Amino acid sequence: MSDSTLRLTTAQAIIKYLTNQFIMIDGEKTRICGGGFGIFGHGNVSCLGEALYNAQDALPLYRGQNEQSMGFAAAGYAKYHLRRRFMFCTASAGPGTANLLTSAGLAHANRLPMLMLCGDTFLTRLPDPVLQQLEHFGDPTLGINDAFKAVTRYWDRITHPAQVIQSLPAALATMLDPADCGPTFIALPQDVQGWSYDYPAAFFTERVHRIRRQTPDTAEINDAASLLASAKRPLIIAGGGVQYSGAINELTSFAETLNIPVVETIAGRANMLATHPLNIGPVGVTGSDSANWAAERADVILSVGSRLQDFTTGSWTAFSHDAQFISLNSARHDAAKHRSMPVVGDAKLGLAALQSALGQRCADPAWTKEAQAQRQIWDHTVAETVRAGDNRPNSYAQAIGVVNALVADHDRVVAAAGGLPAELTANWRTLKTGTVDVEFGFSCMGYEIAGAWGARIAQSEKEPEADTISFVGDGSYLMLNSDIYSSVLTGKKLIIVVLDNGGFAVINKLQNNTGNESFNNLIKDCPTVSEPFAVDFEAHAKSMGALAETVQNPAGLGAAFKRAQSADQTSVIVMQVDPYVGWTEGGHTWWEIGTPHVTDSTKIRNAHIEWESSRPKQRRGI
């Protein structure tokens, strides 16, 4: 070692670099990388493991139970920190790395930062073929790690130690870019991990980063302001980008100053409190009658921080054909979607600039009052939907209502695939902004518990007194539950509400709604099942060290939830719900799915005709 260089292995250099990258959050300097999740194998244990052992105080390593769930936990962590911090995941060469593909897809769809440091085959190829290597006879450079190119924003394979000097800053810049944020992947051949190099000492100098705020173009702001000023029935769609930008106050000020109704996307849930008079509700397929009423009648729609996914737009049937869109987004790709007038830039800066350009212009009070009246009607609908009693069958909505009434305003709620995202989006009443994580960008089963564990790790850094609550169906629980054990091992308390409806009930509902017979979704309808039986989720959760109990009804759920709040360790509460009744009936727009154009079934043919009858409402992009 000289005064200007440090001789380190590739793996040591990567970890040393990460330990010296910081960001300012609320005036406090903290590491951008909060640590990592890891499962060691022959592809990462000897070299990367050695480097991580010596850095464990700066970068704590959480032992994973499954690589896919490690990625979900990293996503939950990044969501909680509003993309300002991330975790890395390290997996061995072969199937360990392959297990990360799904979670990389989730992070990519949701635009979340996550760094994957994964083992690879030997660069020299001297021992080829090695254990777990996938051989491609015509391309010896091709392997499982190349599959990640489709689900990452930045991908590299390190073939020489010096390359990390370029690769690591590029990966970090990607994860900090509001327009291009997403997962990054660095493949580390097993021999290269241990090779050494004289790195410039300056490469490891402590650096404090910041996330770029792009100022929107003045001409785009002026065009958008002119269009908004001409609106008779303006509407704001508030997406997840509002929270990532830290623009909740600017959104609220903008809406209040101009008296414009606001509707929320799934990712944008908890942009406004449920009681805010301009919050008209969630919009789209899993939305509210009130928000969809406003969306259908709005003539100018300002979309802020939304990628306008089909569940938001009702596959583009939720709006009038004549409605004009303005899309304020840091990503050019999102800002220009579906004939939108683009305003490319940061939501916080963009809303302030738009408000300045518009001055004191206000929307027609009659329009806003009508939308608010619709929200009041929807509030009554929700109250009735979540109400328990009268010997009504147990439902998702009732469970949501019970928990919603008992949580503290700073508690965080997590849900993902199946029927719970729709039920939570429609029925959850936000008590504090930024407290709802409904993963519906990738609609990924298994995120519910793993993502909650990652969120709880992040939450315990800032709000240790708060709870993280996961709503999970029996199907998702069976798919990925091992992070109950992780939460117990690490002392990161979760409250997990398992709602057992005997299978994949929401897909069974869709199956029936398209005229098909129940088949292979509910356990009792699986032709290869010899004798259906219910899983003892309580016993299973207890076997992983959690407190657990089974309740019979919403009243029992409420009592159990209070016990879980008082406990100092992870609690699992199990309740059976009806797979057929109790679903939220209102608030749905049309959603495009593929239905058979030719069939011998009259029911399926009639359902196809009925489904296609709404297609004329669909806007067509250019």
Quote the percentage of the chain above a pLDDT of 90: 95
Is the pLDDT assigned to residue 46 strictly greater than 90? yes
360: pLDDT confidence band, cut at 50, 70 and 90?
A: confident
Assess contact for 36 and 223: CB atoms under 8 A.
Answer: no
Token pair belonging to 618: 């669909």
Residue 246 φ/ψ region, left for φ over 0, alpha for ψ in the -120 to 50 degree band, beta for the rest: left
How do beta strands 61-63 and 436-438 pair? unpaired
- Taking all residues of the chain, what is their mean pLDDT, rounded to a whole number? 96
Query: Is the domain covering 218-377 a CATH 3.40.50.1220 domain?
Result: yes
- All residues at 6 or more sequence positions from 605 whose CB lies less than 8 Å from its CB, including other chains: 515, 596, 599
The residue with tokens 């220009």 is: 336
5-209 CATH pick, 1.10.260.40, 3.40.50.970, 3.40.50.720, 3.40.190.10: 3.40.50.970
Quote the percentage of the chain above a pLDDT of 70: 99
How do beta strands 21-25 and 207-209 pair? parallel
Give residue 1's pLDDT.
Answer: 47
- Minimal CA–CA distance to 538: which of 506, 565, 573? 573
391: pLDDT confidence band, cut at 50, 70 and 90?
A: confident
Assess contact for 254 and 351: CB atoms under 8 A.
Answer: yes
- Please give the model's pTM, rounded to 2 decimal places: 0.97
Give residue 532's pLDDT.
Answer: 85
Is the pLDDT assigned to residue 341 strictly greater than 90? yes
pLDDT tens-digit series, residues 146-156? 999 999 999 99
Domains 218-377 and 387-576 share a fold: yes
361: pLDDT confidence band, cut at 50, 70 and 90?
A: confident
| Average pLDDT rounded to a whole number, residues 558-585 | 97
First to last CA, the chain: 60
- Prior bond to 129 cis, omega within 30? yes
Is the pLDDT assigned to residue 138 strictly greater than 70? yes
Q: 365-386 and 420-427 are packed helices; what angle lies between their axes, rounded to 10 degrees?
A: 130
- In which element (H, E) is residue 471 found? strand 468-473
Is the pLDDT assigned to residue 622 strictly greater than 60? no
| Average pLDDT rounded to a whole number, residues 185-191 | 97
Residue 320 φ/ψ region, left for φ over 0, alpha for ψ in the -120 to 50 degree band, beta for the rest: beta
- All residues at 6 or more sequence positions from 494 whose CB lies less than 8 Å from its CB, including other chains: 449, 452, 453, 456, 468, 469, 470, 484, 487, 570, 571
Is the pLDDT assigned to residue 621 strictly greater than 70? no
Q: 218-229 and 347-358 are packed helices; what angle lies between their axes, rounded to 10 degrees?
A: 60
> For residue 599, which amino acid is it?
T
| Average pLDDT rounded to a whole number, residues 9-18 | 98
Is the pLDDT assigned to residue 217 strictly greater than 80? yes
Assess contact for 352 and 184: CB atoms under 8 A.
Answer: no
Kindly report the number of other CB atoms within 10 A of residue 79's CB atom: 25
Domain map (residue ranges) of the chain:
5-209, 218-377, 387-576
pLDDT tens-digit series, residues 221-279? 999 999 999 999 999 999 999 999 999 999 999 999 999 999 999 999 999 999 999 99
CA dihedral (234, 236, 237, 240) in degrees, to 10, reads: 170
| Average pLDDT rounded to a whole number, residues 334-359 | 95
Can you name the CATH fold of 387-576?
Rossmann fold (3.40.50)
d(CA 37, CA 107): 15
